[in-house]
Amino acid sequence: MTLSTNKPRRGRPPKIARENSDTKAILIRSGLEHLTENGFASSGIDQILKKVGVPKGSFYHYFSSKEAFGKTVIEHYAHYFEKKLDKSLLDDNHLPLQRIINFVDDAKAGIIRHHFKRGCLVGNLGQEVDLLPESFRQQLIDIFYSWQQRMTNCLELAKEQGQIAKTSNCNLLAELFWIGWEGAVSRAKLVGSVEPLDNFVNYFIDNLTRV
């Protein structure tokens, strides 16, 4: 038998009990936590790897660069957030405007659970967009549009059911919701209180129902 003399390639995953798919998932989850708390520009790959005990060679087996890693983390966050949105905004057990309130209540619980250290990853990255790889810009725009479309659909249903005026521009209202929402989340982190979120959603809903 002839033994192979080929040297291990850079980036080959480590031979440990952990499955390869688990390693990738762990890296993404660690990236979500770190980037949500610290942003992208100030986050180093070494910090993320050290936290979960994954060697750098394994990281480069799954991701060609920090930019590629960031785009994957953003994608996973977007899918996670879309599921949370759909859970509330598509809930037929409640009227459309109550669904919006339920979404806010669920988000508040998450912010409290993480002790106001995490906000919205997409919103956070939007604030540092000039420091990000240019490829992130359109990705973030598309995500915001996806969220806006979901809110538009909920508001259109509210219009059909007579909860808001028939003349309401639901797409514009949905855009304004997300603009206000990101500001309220940022303020909630700053002051360590969900009061800004309550103030925002109450003002938004009150003005929707005002004839």
List, in order, residues 6 or more apart from 2 with CB less than 8 Å away: none
Supply the pLDDT for residue 5: 39
Half-sphere exposure of 27 (CA within 13 A, CB side): 28
Supply the pLDDT for residue 71: 94
| Count of positions (residues) in the chain | 211
Supply the pLDDT for residue 20: 56
Supply the pLDDT for residue 47: 83
Supply the pLDDT for residue 21: 59
* Amino acid residing at 205: I
Q: Which residues of the chain have pLDDT under 70?
A: 1-21, 211
Q: Tokens 């192979």 correspond to what residue?
A: 4
Alpha-helical segments (H) within the chain: 20-38, 45-52, 56-62, 66-89, 96-113, 121-127, 135-160, 170-191, 195-209
Under 8 Å between Cβ of 204 and 177: yes
Supply the pLDDT for residue 200: 97
Q: Tokens 């480069």 correspond to what residue?
A: 60
Supply the pLDDT for residue 91: 97
